[in-house]
Homo-oligomer: A and B are copies of this chain.
Amino acid sequence: MNEFELIARYFSRPCADASVVLGVGDDCAALRVPEGEHLLVSTDLLVEGRHFPESTAAFDVGYKAMAVNLSDLAAMGARPLGVTLGLALPSIEPDWLEAFAKGFYTLAEQHGICLVGGDTVKSPVLSLAVTIMGSAPPDRMLTRSGAQSGDLIAVTGTLGDAGLGLRSIQRPESMPPSLNPEDIDFLQMRLNRPTPRGEEGRRLAEVAHAAIDISDGLLQDLGHILRASHVGAVVEADRLPISPAARAWLAADPTQHNLPLTAGDDYELLFTIAPDQWAMLDVPATVIGRITQDKRLRVLDAQGHDMPVHVQGFDHFAPVNLD
């Protein structure tokens, strides 16, 4: 099978999206951007062994590649327009490709987004380059730079699940024996098939001041908001939303107690919002702290004492130290 047949076979599904004028198969794809809206674009690289364990099922690799990009649009409050996929493969394995495409398209179709272009190359290492495009009205774009002193800090969903899921795969011997199989499944699903918060992001765009998706870890990503907005924050660690599965693990293994503060890959939305807007918000979320004029990032434990903040989020080359 050659490159062109490969593309035709797995990545040329018909596209019913009216915004796609020209899809896969020319020098460029052509898209209609809604009049008066800005084009939003984000790009992500995923490398096997770094962004997903080598044991990850092909379906999940495809699913996650789509999810992390939809999550970037969600964090801006944007609607999806189209996505391109660059696929660097060591070899052509039809079964793998079919499952990968299925995972990729499953989530793409749920979010009404079409694959409009791509490139496939041979490479010693499996890696993916996904670029997603979306649109939003200029006055409804959620950025990192709008946080204001006094804002509540909140997150969607629960934190730390993906980090524990990763740990269960990379260091299975470290799992508490008391953990039941459903909990392990849940944590691994959170790692392999994160849920992009598209609808939540678009609702947040109406009221929130700033937002980011949590890919690198709560404190690291909050740090991006603080730097971009020139503010600080106080986070109350015991207010972090923790799933029952993660709670079961953390109760049995106190060494991982702080993992939800720093683990990445949950792809929940972290946002800031004026306190008087909170009551009207129709997005399920949990308040975890407050934006401050004081530019430090402080984390308080259950007793209200400052915890030492060493942010070791997911930086691909070296740890970041905020304090």
Contacts and interface: CB of A to CB of B under 8 A. Distances in A.
A4 B6 CA distance: 36
Given A38-B21, A86-B45, A76 B26 contact: yes
B123 A30 contact: no
A101 interface: no
Interface size class of A (residues with CB under 8 A): 35 or more
B84 A121 contact: no
A22 B76 CA distance: 11
Given A42-B28, A119-B43, A317-B3, A88 B127 contact: yes
B121 A50 contact: yes
A172 interface: no
Contact of A47 (B4, B42, B122): B122
B27 A31 contact: no
Nearest to A134: B28
Chain copies in the assembled complex: 2
A129 B31 contact: no
Nearest to A211: B27
A242 B119 CA distance: 29
Given A122-B47, A317-B1, A32 B39 contact: yes
Interface string A288-323: 000000000000000000000000000111111000
A27 B132 CA distance: 11
Contacts of A32: 38-39
A138 interface: yes
A44 B73 CA distance: 21
A27 B213 contact: yes
B41 A316 contact: no
A175 interface: no
A25 interface: yes
Given A2-B315, A3-B317, A32-B38, 10 more contacts: A4-B320, A21-B138, A26-B143, A30-B40, A33-B33, A41-B133, A50-B121, A51-B121, A88-B127, A122-B316
Across the A-B interface, give the 4 residue pairs with the lowest CB-CB distance, nearest first. A129-B129, A131-B131, A27-B75, A28-B40
